[in-house]
Amino acid sequence: MLDRRKFIQGLGATAFASATALLNPDRARAVLQTVAAHRGQARDLAADEDFWRRIQQAFTVDRSIINLNNGGVSPAPAIVQQAMKQHLDYSHKAPAYTMWRVLEPQQESVRSSLARCFDCSPEELALTRNASESMQILQNGIDLQPGDEVLATTHDYPRMLNTWKQRERRDGIVLRQFSLPIPAEDPQLIVDLYEQHISPRTRAILISHVVYLTGQIMPVRAVCALGRRKGIPVFVDGAHSLGHFTFTLADLDCEFFGSSLHKWLTAPHGTGMLYVRKERIGDIWPLQAAEESKDEDIRKFEEIGTHPAANTLAIAEAISFYRGIGPERKEERLRFLRNRWAERLKVSDRVRLHTSLKPGRSCAIATMQVEGIPSGALAKHLWKEHKILVVAIKHDDFEGIRVAPNVYTSLDEIDYFSETMERIIRNGID
């Protein structure tokens, strides 16, 4: 059994190597060169800790903390941090020239690179600051009349639900919501629930690609097809999906999609993207006014005034790092880490998993509940006594703690979390 002090001491070499990566971002490039030379299959590599230790060294994380809240925001590799700092330093040499005339035009190459990741046209992709901004562009930009209805679930992200609620107060629209099964094992049941709650007045549908509460992967393609049959636009909140597991636009077949890049793509904090199918760009008003000549131009959604170019340009390094690891390798590793703790803890009759572990239903994120222990108190105990960072979930339908490792998470950290939870299940938190 691992003692916390011994566990932290055992991570000393890893912490030192991570600090070295901060001082020398070329280390990250060496990591990717090593990875590129490795020919193993993604599934075979998922449990190969020697392989993943090389990836872990590209990050500068504090190993005295076990960060299992990568769903909120993720650390960026040293090479991404360094790129952003270099661009920012250059900006300040003469920003009216260096930032506006030199760096900002280079954002077009980032747009093209990100579009290749999503497999769409660069002319359909806007560079935003986060998923919330992307989704609010859609939600506030669609024309709606008093009495028009929008459909969402009670499990969608609060900021997006609040956006619809503000439009209720401002424009007299109506927000309709329904609950999802916990866990959701049958994708067709979810599609049926959407169809059952569509009314003659439904004018828009919101769907989360990954439910932020549980990590549940939703049947986006089928719901988008349903929306097209009914003539209803479907807005896909992909805050937790891009860079998390493998998919492209073709897999979703959607017309509208927004995502954060500072979560699973490990890009700089405050970076996001918005996809709008070319023929639908003119249907959406931008949040900030753009000149009429840009009505059909995806760049109208980027009219936010002066802002740093450094964050956006460093997305390119994040994409390079992501592709260097390999999307399939990353997905398999994240599921392996999730299963390592979830399969171990679910054997207890006091543990309830609120996330489906079936293939394709979830990836890194999963939510568990220990019956008899309030989840808020459990999360506080894990942090105070063990410096394990998780998210306490309290919802009308359920509660639990959300656990979300990332590629820099080690098996030692996952096992320490599991052993700690086993002791808590046996002994409580008093």
Phi-psi region of 371 (alpha: psi -120 to 50; beta: other; left: phi over 0): beta
DSSP 299: G
DSSP 217: B
Q: What is the pLDDT of residue 9?
A: 42
The three-state (H, E, C) secondary structure of 237-288, written as one string: ECCCCCCCCCCCHHHHCCCEEEEECCCCCCCCCCCEEEEECHHHHHHCCCCC
- Residue 109: what residue type? S
d(CA 412, CA 2): 9
Mean of pLDDT values over 286-295? 96
Phi-psi region of 428 (alpha: psi -120 to 50; beta: other; left: phi over 0): left
**Average pLDDT for the chain:** 92
Give the side-chain half-sphere CA count within 13 A for 292. 0
4-75+326-425: which CATH topology?
A: Aspartate Aminotransferase, domain 1 (3.90.1150)
Pairing between β-strand 125-128 and β-strand 174-178 as defined by DSSP bridges: unpaired
Tell me the pTM: 0.91
What does the domain layout of the chain look like in residue ranges?
A: 4-75+326-425, 83-319
Contact call for residues 366 and 391 (beta carbons, < 8 A): no
pLDDT of residue 8 exceeding 60, the answer is: no
Q: CATH assignment of 83-319?
A: 3.40.640.10
Give percent above pLDDT 90 in the chain.
89
| Digit-coded pLDDT (tens) for 84-106 | 999 999 999 999 999 999 999 99
Query: Is-cis flag, bond preceding 183, omega within 30?
Result: yes
